Structure 1
């Protein structure tokens, strides 16, 4: 399985680097710049029993996280992921043909001062909330709302200016970003986006509010240019959580470019057990529409491990939006 061999090479290389970081150099001096390296990652397995009886299961991803933070103003972060290294489907058996090696993030940060930071490299597009915390151990459900991944580019290669400023008793976080280099490799069935630029504001507090705006070209017929506006919120209290995102796109030449969003609620039902419910909608010209509802439960085995079980219903099933009974286990290490 070529994907697993790739993962083994990456993992061993990273472990060797971390081990070297703790060893003295040949001249007896410690390599200070290597001591700031940290190695981690996450992974998840999931299964899906579809409404028609078809079943499938997969090792959904293997992600390696490498970060560095020294005494200087510089920081480094990377996330290298193998998507679906192994997949099983009833009637077809095991395969690794769907595996893809993906550089999700790889960037350098430079701290200019207390208010301004500069990022250069590949990073997750700062739009909404789910896209920034999409890792399986950090979200409540196995499935991801379509609107959070099909209406805009989920990652960019470019520059970002970001920081935070006091706002009364809260903090206002800001981000301004622009694409500088197009993707050199496009995954199967993935839309291509070009010339992306935008910004995001997020007001922190017990209830957080976010506003996102960006403009980009999409590689559909005519290479149309779009503008997108998004609003989002997250509120937590006594173990309860409610969150939502709403997006609207327009063609710069005029006309509707698609829309979507979701509303999700989480309620504590027992120690480390939570009930989860979600409603979502997605609509885009040429891609149809999708309405989904979800009800499920999540068991926080530990802060870094979570088990999820959910049933997803709604209109017609599609490859990028499954229905039926789903279960998964995710771990952050």
Structure 2
């Protein structure tokens, strides 16, 4: 899908000077990011956030393979004023095999990112504008699932213009067996995403899931997202609403983000967020900062985070990061 294609294209740029090996259909790449977090309350942290390795394979046939193995937080400088790796762990982000029947029908089997909104599919630091991830994309649905997915694209005539309709339909086959840090584990996940792509790109996400904890609450998820470009500006947003199986409020979240060009590959970033989960932390958050595209595969980000509440993953304060694809 788009996120994988963009990652592989950037990997090709990063290795453009290397000789090609026509005998091999494998491609190896990866990405990493480091950050400095200076919260409003608390000590400053220095982190090597992740080292992610990407492996893909394809030939002239119908099968393709993709895998992503990530070492999370391999090195941190914390309140003890020393480097350690006590919070590091390995995470298998993706591991799947694709069968291409046609542009309109592909079948994916394995572990893949959940098609919910855009950010979750583009989450790699070299592909996103900010160092912080929108709250709505972290707590309302699983980041990835193990299962089967059918996806494809077809041209669609709407009025005087032609657009592309992309779809994906998926179902979980195996619940996550490992809980990473404070990750919320879901089971019995199934859903679909539909996207109209042209100058104004809009998507609809639908899903059902059960949270794996006492009481086993069932949720129905509805999500909308968009992205468009106007006079060099990029405007995007996502919104999600969850309902319990009896129609009650299961949580919600949304964000609006803009990226404005400042010249010389600098961009001004603004994001407004709202997030709510019943009986848990809720609030509003804003992010303002600048991002420098140092190279096609490198981003330097500096931002201030504020709002009505502190969240475990991103406290209020200043954050700077550098992300690179290799």
Decide: shared fold, TM above 0.5: yes
In the other structure, the counterpart of 1:79 is 68
In the other structure, the counterpart of 1:265 is 258
2:127 to 125, 132, 138: 138
Q: What CA distance in whole angstroms lies between the structure 2 residues aligned with 1:57 and 1:243?
A: 30
Between the two structures, name the one with larger relative contact order (CA 8 Å, sep ≥ 6).
2
Deviation at 1:53, TM superposition (A): 5.0
Q: What CA distance in whole angstroms lies between the structure 1 residues aligned with 2:79 and 2:89?
A: 22
In the other structure, the counterpart of 2:6 is none
1:12-91 → structure 2 map (5 Å cutoff): 22=21, 35-52=24-41, 54-91=43-80
1:304 to 289, 297, 320: 297
Q: What CA distance in whole angstroms lies between the structure 2 residues aligned with 1:294 and 1:324?
A: 10
In the other structure, the counterpart of 1:114 is 103
Deviation at 1:207, TM superposition (A): 1.2
Q: What CA distance in whole angstroms lies between the structure 2 residues aligned with 1:321 and 1:284?
A: 17
Q: What CA distance in whole angstroms lies between the structure 2 residues aligned with 1:103 and 1:78?
A: 8
In the other structure, the counterpart of 1:127 is 116
Runs of 4+ that moved beyond 6 A: none
Listed one character per residue, the Cα deviations across residues 125-172 of structure 1 (whole Å, up to 9, x for unaligned) are 000000000000110000001110100011000000000010121100
Q: What CA distance in whole angstroms lies between the structure 2 residues aligned with 1:238 and 1:69?
A: 38
For the aligned residue pairs, the C-alpha RMSD in angstroms reads: 1.5
SS across alignment from 2:126: helix
Unaligned runs of 5+ in 1: 1-18, 23-29
Unaligned runs of 5+ in 2: 1-18
Q: What CA distance in whole angstroms lies between the structure 2 residues aligned with 1:286 and 1:126?
A: 27
1:172-321 → structure 2 map (5 Å cutoff): 172-321=165-314
SS across alignment from 2:102: coil
Deviation at 1:224, TM superposition (A): 0.8
In the other structure, the counterpart of 1:15 is none
Comparing 39-48 with 83-92, greater Cα deviation is found at 83-92
Q: What CA distance in whole angstroms lies between the structure 1 residues aligned with 2:124 and 2:243?
A: 29
Listed one character per residue, the Cα deviations across residues 107-139 of structure 1 (whole Å, up to 9, x for unaligned) are 000011231000000000000000000000110
| Contact 2:195–2:202 (Cα < 8 Å) also in 1 | yes
Q: What CA distance in whole angstroms lies between the structure 2 residues aligned with 1:226 and 1:40?
A: 37
SS across alignment from 1:321: coil
Aligned length: 304
Higher Cα radius of gyration:
1
| Contact 1:164–1:171 (Cα < 8 Å) also in 2 | yes
| Contact 2:40–2:315 (Cα < 8 Å) also in 1 | no
Q: What CA distance in whole angstroms lies between the structure 1 residues aligned with 2:210 and 2:254?
A: 21
| Contact 1:260–1:283 (Cα < 8 Å) also in 2 | yes
Listed one character per residue, the Cα deviations across residues 174-227 of structure 1 (whole Å, up to 9, x for unaligned) are 000000011121212111100000000011111100000000000243001100
In the other structure, the counterpart of 2:153 is 164
Q: What CA distance in whole angstroms lies between the structure 2 residues aligned with 1:81 and 1:129?
A: 20
Deviation at 1:92, TM superposition (A): 4.2
Deviation at 1:236, TM superposition (A): 1.3
1:100 to 89, 92, 98: 89
Q: What CA distance in whole angstroms lies between the structure 2 residues aligned with 1:322 and 1:222?
A: 30
Comparing 315-324 with 70-79, greater Cα deviation is found at 315-324
Deviation at 1:321, TM superposition (A): 2.8
| Contact 1:146–1:321 (Cα < 8 Å) also in 2 | no
SS across alignment from 1:288: coil
Q: What CA distance in whole angstroms lies between the structure 1 residues aligned with 2:316 and 2:214?
A: 29
